[in-house]
Amino acid sequence: MAKIGILTGGGDCPGLNAVIRGVVKSAVGRGWEVVGIEDGFDGFLHPEKCRPLGLEEVRGILPRGGTILGTSNRGNPFAFPIMREGKVELVDVSDEVRSRILQLGLTALIVVGGDGSLKIAQEMMRRGVPIVGVPKTIDNDLLETDVTFGYNTALETATDALDKLHSTAESHHRVMVLEVMGRYAGWIALESGIAGGADVILIPEIPYDIDRIRDAIIARCKRGRRFSVVVVAEGAYPKGGNRVLKEAAGGKSVVERLGGVGEALSRELGGVLEMDIRVTVLGHLQRGGTPSTFDRCIGSRFGVKAVELVEAGAFGQMVCLKGRHITSVSIEDAVRSLNLIDPSGEMVRHAEALGIMLGR
Ligand code: F6P
């Protein structure tokens, strides 16, 4: 009989509970025990945060957003932030985490996470912890999987926001700027922009030229379209310029926090356009809410597949979607670099063929 641990790490996203439920159902079906670790890897440092998960604990969680286990995007065991004399210091607590895993008698650990958590998982693997990964993130920036779960729901939220902005943009003859998440990848912006009929889409993979954007908006006005809808990914930046940060890395936040490009763009456009400009920052709404049918389905199947991988002893593997099949790849390959949009790829070409301006 196996005893497996499961944790959810990094920023939350819709579909995490579907994965947890999928893992518990298929593990319990095999007569295995499951231990839920709360708040990502941090949970290993607190005995009360490691608790048994059975069928009762996962009942009714499938349509719920968030994660019943809690998560953290600060708990890297190799650079764990602690306060010393009023200052944040990063210490290595990985040995403590490893001993706790041994003490709990875990035969394997399932890490449900994005790029950051899976890199940590890979390091823990090197220290002898048997791990299987499940790709999570609204940003869709992991390699070796057609899609990460959570992304589809975030896209729906962004597309819905664009539909709503369209009508008010048209009524007031305004430029409406929608800032969406995605970190260094422009997937949410590009796909929601295509689906929501945006006029301008700005993504980190294509630094934008403000004059070209102005010209496109003015050209629309001349055609009688006296409004424009612009989607800007939080990681987008002007040619020769820099990303807009809310917080640099190293302070309270271990990684840099992006945000504010919508306002920066509006200021720039305000200097070259007569029209009224308004900015909406969609923010964490993209991470919340009930998961879409797609995310519930692949989340559940990812959970089942993760248990199958544990059973097969396929440690160091990450569950993934290829076409219509759930299969697996090495975690190492998945976190090699980020899955970014190809500026000369098919999706960008199609967007431009639809008359959408991509800032170049
Ligand atoms: O990685 C998911 C994500 O939502 C990014 O799109 C965004 O930049 C970041 O997390 C926000 O993180 P936080 O929840 O720490 O503000």
Query: Is 75 marked within a binding site?
Result: yes
Report whether pLDDT(69) > 90.
Answer: yes
The structural domains of the chain, with segments of one domain joined by +, span 3-149+291-334, 153-286
Encoding tokens for residue 338?
């980020």
pLDDT at 75: 80
pLDDT above 90: residue 58: yes
- Is the pLDDT at 253 greater than 80? The verdict is no
Query: Ligand 1 centroid vs 70 CA: distance in angstroms?
Result: 15
> Is the confidence at residue 73, as pLDDT, over 90?
no
Pocket probe mutation, ligand 1, options 72, 74, 136, 139, max atoms within 8 Å of Cβ:
139
pLDDT for 243 equals: 98
- Residue 162 is predicted with a pLDDT of 98
Across the range 123-128, mean pLDDT stands at 95
Our answer on whether the CB atom of 181 is closer than 6 Å to any ligand 1 atom is yes
Fold match between domain 3-149+291-334 and domain 153-286: yes
- Looking at domain 153-286, which of 3.40.50.460, 3.30.1330.10, 3.30.70.60, 3.40.50.720 is its CATH number? 3.40.50.460
CA 10 to ligand 1: nearest atom: 1
Q: Is the CB of 182 under 6 A from ligand 1?
A: yes
- Counting from 1 in the atom list of ligand 1, the atom nearest the Cα of 235 is 8
CB 287 less than 6 A from any atom of ligand 1:
yes
Atom of ligand 1 nearest to the CA of 234: 8
Span 10-48, pLDDT tens digits? 999 999 999 999 999 999 999 999 999 999 999 999 999
286 close to 138: Cβ distance less than 8 angstroms: yes
The rounded distance, in Å, linking the Cα atoms of 161 and 191 is 13
When pLDDT is cut at 50, 70 and 90, the band that residue 343 belongs to is very high
Q: Confidence band (pLDDT; 50, 70, 90) for 281?
A: very high
Q: Give the per-residue pLDDT at 101.
A: 96
Say if residues 145 and 322 touch (Cβ distance below 8 Å).
Answer: yes
Residue nearest (by alpha carbon) to ligand 1 atom 10: 11
* CA distances in angstroms from 67 to 10, 62, 196, listed in the order given: 11, 10, 29
164-173, 192-201, 248-257: segment of lowest average pLDDT: 248-257
Q: What is the pLDDT of residues 147-180, one digit of tens each?
A: 999 999 999 999 999 999 999 999 999 999 999 9
Q: What is the pTM of this model?
A: 0.97
Average pLDDT over every residue of 214-241: 97
Question: Could you list the active site residues?
Answer: 139
pLDDT of residue 86: 83
Mean pLDDT of 260-283: 97
Question: Of the residues 287, 335, 339, 340, which should be mutated to test ligand 1's pocket, given the most ligand atoms within 8 Å of the CB?
Answer: 287
Give the distance, in angstroms, between the CA of residue 203 and the centroid of all CA atoms in the same chain.
16
- Cβ 157 vs Cβ 196: under 8 Å: no
Q: Measuring CA to CA, which residue among 190, 150, 138, 160 is closest to residue 280?
A: 160
Give yes or no for a contact between 181 and 154, defined as CB atoms under 8 angstroms apart: yes
278: β partners:
176
User: How far, in Å, are 12, 21, 38, 259 from residue 289 at the CA level?
Assistant: 11, 17, 20, 21
Report the pLDDT value the prediction gives residue 250, as an integer from 0 to 100.
Answer: 75
Confirm whether residue 259 is marked as ligand binding: no
| Confidence (pLDDT) at 294 | 98
CA nearest neighbour of 254 among 109, 117, 98: 117
- pLDDT recorded at residue 169: 98
Q: What per-residue confidence (pLDDT) applies to 20?
A: 98
Q: 69, 83, 74: which is closest to 39 by C-alpha?
A: 69
pLDDT at 91: 92
pLDDT at 1: 81
Domain 3-149+291-334 has CATH 3.40.50.450: yes
Ligand 1 atom having least distance to the Cα of 286 = 4
Give the number of other CB atoms < 10 A from CB of residue 84: 8
For residue range 181-194, what is the model confidence (pLDDT) as tens digits?
A: 999 999 999 999 99
Does the annotation place 42 within a ligand binding site? no
Q: Is 214 labelled as part of a ligand binding site? A: no
Pick from 10-14, 40-44, 78-82, 306-310: least confident: 78-82
Q: Is the pLDDT of residue 254 over 80?
A: no
CB distance 319 to 306 below 8 Å: yes
Residue 277 reports pLDDT greater than 80: yes
Rg (CA), the chain: 22
Assign 3-class secondary structure to the chain: CCEEEEEECCCCCCCHHHHHHHHHHHHHHCCCEEEEECCHHHHHHCHHHEEECCCCCCCCCCCCCCCCCCCCCCCCCCCEEEEECCEEEEECCHHHHHHHHHHHCCCEEEEEECHHHHHHHHHHHHCCCCEEEEEECCCCCECCCCCCECHHHHHHHHHHHHHHHHHHHHHHCCEEEEEECCCCCCHHHHHHHHHCCCCEEECCCCCECHHHHHHHHHHHHHCCCCCEEEEEECCCCECCCCCCEEECCCCCCCCCEECCHHHHHHHHHHCCCCCCEEEEECHHHHHCCCCCHHHHHHHHHHHHHHHHHHHCCCCCEEEEEECCEEEEEEHHHHCCCECCCCCCCHHHHHHHHCCCECCC
Express as a percent the part of the chain with pLDDT over 90: 93
